[in-house]
Structure 1
Amino acid sequence: MGMRELGTPVLDDHLHLDRNGARGIDAVRDFARSGGTHLLVVNKPSWHLGFEAETGADFRAVFEETLDIVADATDELRGRAWPVLGVHPGLVSRLVDERGFAPEEAADLMCAGLDVAAEYAAAGEPVALKSGRPHYEVSDDVWNASNRVLRHALKRAAETGVALQLHTETTEDLTDVGAWAEDAGLPPERVVKHYASGTLAGVTKSVMCEKDYLETAVESGEPFLMETDYVDDPDRPGAVMGPKTVPRRVNWLLEAGRDEAVRRAHVETPEAVYGIDTEATLA
């Protein structure tokens, strides 16, 4: 099957790739064949790759792995891939519940991991850091520690001139985080809630590619991105959505005459949030 061209850059804003995953680089080929051109590849949670971090420096192996697979992905794309590096907010529970860390100690280790991610950002490779707070019920101590990590990530992103992707609780209102971003010197529109529905206040939404979410996002007239959160997990091969989903949804929007919204999600918002030019980087 030949490469499909949709006449526009097509960016998946958040997915994971793993050389030992379900599909690895074959997932990128599926994406490209369906018309996909650009990817933001987020490092997998450290423990999924078998790393149990003791120090911030221990995250370096996870980040290096991500940089390697981003280079491989770029080789397969008409556009290119970029890394997003950080510390998954769910790590706090692994540290506290399974490894006996106090919440504040867990936060210290996570902040140290973000400091290492920020070193890479300062050197120019990642276009965003990744942080957030748990999306499930936690104690007040863990919640407060998590918010400290999130605020540290905002500060680091501001200092290094990159965006910040967040994994958070299910919500349509992150104006609290938008205000913290302002405090940290990071424009709130450069903060992205990954796994968003079609409605979100406070920061930029990266919309999971459910058709009803996309219709809401398109109608809103607001900046948005599109993602699958593909996890490349051998035990859950299609989760969360398959790599062909964003190109298929772009095609669906174009067939409905929503060219302006496609441009917003795949050219204008990526430029405003990450400073990336999806048109100039298209071969």
Structure 2
Amino acid sequence: MIDETPVLDDHLHLDPDAHRGIDAVRDFARVGGTHLLVVNKPSWHLGVEAETGEDFRDVFERTVDIVADASSELEGRAWPVLGVHPGLISRLVDDRGFTPEAARDLMRAGIDVAAEYVESGDALALKSGRPHYEVGDDVWDASNAVMRRAFEHGAALECAVQLHAEASEDMTEVADWAEDAGMPAHRVVKHYAGGRLKGPTPSVMSEKDRLETAAERGEPFLMETDYIDDPDRPGAVLGPKTVPRRVRWLLENGREEAVRIAHIETPKRVYGIDTEATLASAE
């Protein structure tokens, strides 16, 4: 721990089969990290070319298993976040010959399976979103339909939905869709966010300039690395030690309130998790 505070990385990936896996968790813990939200890797990165919603279950099971292993390395614990990566729609349409409508249906079926894990208590939240790159209107509409299915489950299960989506400082329309489904907007989490965002809760990439912006605003935010645990892209995104190091930097610069917001208050508000109590129970 760092000055007795919980330290949560809100979004990273662990490969259950190759590369660093649990060694990355040990790196995180060694420099003061205590809690992790582990998002399943894209299905095709784990060798799954889904034809039905049930085909995603193997991805989810392997993620749940490595998260259990990760928890045993932490002073706090780790939780799984499960869903379907929005980039899958391009793989289905461009490479596998699916129509956008068929891709939509398959991806929604995968979200339905992920929701079963949340309902049973084996996962904390869902992941969905839409492409962060240029796509045609039919693919865009299909992607939005997948995301809205995730919001329906978020409402029914009273859980958060993490979004992989385009860079933006205003996603109020998407937050409104969540509320239309019966899900509070603050439970929508924009992964890979900057320090300023209207609508969803920002999960801020842990770069100093973004964190300074978030800290200045004094509004709810989370911190993440989006560590991808990919041996073919060893320098991609941020490493697993980054969040604890940035927490230490924030504290050294008098940003105690920002640390409390990101690692205690916002996790409780968005996910219903108590990072302080889970530390105490691990002692």
Structures share fold, TM-score greater than 0.5: yes
1:243 offset after TM fit, Å? Answer: 0.2
The one-letter code sitting in structure 2 at the alignment partner of 1:121 is V
Structure-1 separation of matches of 2:216 and 2:18: 36
Structure-2 separation of matches of 1:105 and 1:267: 41
The one-letter code sitting in structure 2 at the alignment partner of 1:185 is G
Alignment partner, residue 67 of structure 1 = 64
> Secondary structure at the residue paired with 1:193?
strand
Work out whether residues 163 and 190 of structure 1, in 8 Å CA contact, stay in contact via their aligned partners in 2.
yes
1:93 offset after TM fit, Å? Answer: 0.3
Structure-2 separation of matches of 1:184 and 1:46: 27
Work out whether residues 6 and 35 of structure 1, in 8 Å CA contact, stay in contact via their aligned partners in 2.
no
Structure-2 separation of matches of 1:72 and 1:279: 21
For residue 151 of structure 2, the aligned residue among 138, 141, 154 is 154
Superposed CA offset, 1:107-128 (max 9, x none): 0000000000001111112111
Alignment partner, residue 272 of structure 1 = 269
Alignment partner, residue 184 of structure 2 = 187
TM-score for the superposition, normalised by structure 1 = 0.98
Please give the residue correspondences for 1:68-87 in structure 2 after superposition, counting only pairs within 5 Å.
68-87=65-84
Work out whether residues 17 and 231 of structure 1, in 8 Å CA contact, stay in contact via their aligned partners in 2.
yes
Pair 1:259-2:256 in alignment: yes
Structure-2 separation of matches of 1:72 and 1:238: 24
Structure-1 separation of matches of 2:250 and 2:2: 15
1:28 offset after TM fit, Å? Answer: 0.2
Alignment partner, residue 194 of structure 2 = 197
Structure-1 separation of matches of 2:122 and 2:275: 16
Pair 1:173-2:170 in alignment: yes
The one-letter code sitting in structure 2 at the alignment partner of 1:17 is L
Alignment partner, residue 130 of structure 1 = 127
Structure-2 separation of matches of 1:272 and 1:238: 32
Greater mean deviation of Cα atoms: 117-126 or 105-114: 117-126
The one-letter code sitting in structure 1 at the alignment partner of 2:6 is P
Identify unmatched segments of 5+ residues in structure 1: none
Work out whether residues 22 and 237 of structure 1, in 8 Å CA contact, stay in contact via their aligned partners in 2.
no
Pair 1:212-2:188 in alignment: no
1:5 offset after TM fit, Å? Answer: 3.6
Identify unmatched segments of 5+ residues in structure 2: none
Structure-1 separation of matches of 2:47 and 2:230: 13
Work out whether residues 195 and 227 of structure 1, in 8 Å CA contact, stay in contact via their aligned partners in 2.
yes
Structure-1 separation of matches of 2:3 and 2:249: 11
The one-letter code sitting in structure 2 at the alignment partner of 1:223 is P
Structure-1 separation of matches of 2:102 and 2:217: 41
The one-letter code sitting in structure 2 at the alignment partner of 1:108 is D
Work out whether residues 84 and 129 of structure 1, in 8 Å CA contact, stay in contact via their aligned partners in 2.
yes
1:7 offset after TM fit, Å? Answer: 1.7
The one-letter code sitting in structure 1 at the alignment partner of 2:112 is D
Pair 1:281-2:273 in alignment: no
> Secondary structure at the residue paired with 1:101?
coil
Greater mean deviation of Cα atoms: 199-208 or 154-163: 154-163
> Secondary structure at the residue paired with 2:204?
strand
Structure-2 separation of matches of 1:198 and 1:80: 26
For residue 57 of structure 1, the aligned residue among 54, 68, 76 is 54
Structure-2 separation of matches of 1:276 and 1:59: 26
Superposed CA offset, 1:215-247 (max 9, x none): 000001110000000000001123210000000
Structure-1 separation of matches of 2:147 and 2:24: 30
Structure-1 separation of matches of 2:203 and 2:56: 25
Structure-2 separation of matches of 1:91 and 1:6: 41
After superposition, the CA RMSD in angstroms is 0.8
Pair 1:33-2:33 in alignment: no
> Secondary structure at the residue paired with 2:72?
helix
The one-letter code sitting in structure 2 at the alignment partner of 1:82 is W
Structure-1 separation of matches of 2:138 and 2:146: 13
Superposed CA offset, 1:93-143 (max 9, x none): 000000000001100000000000001111112111000000000000000
> Secondary structure at the residue paired with 1:8?
coil
4+ long deviations beyond 3 Å: none
TM-score for the superposition, normalised by structure 2 = 0.98
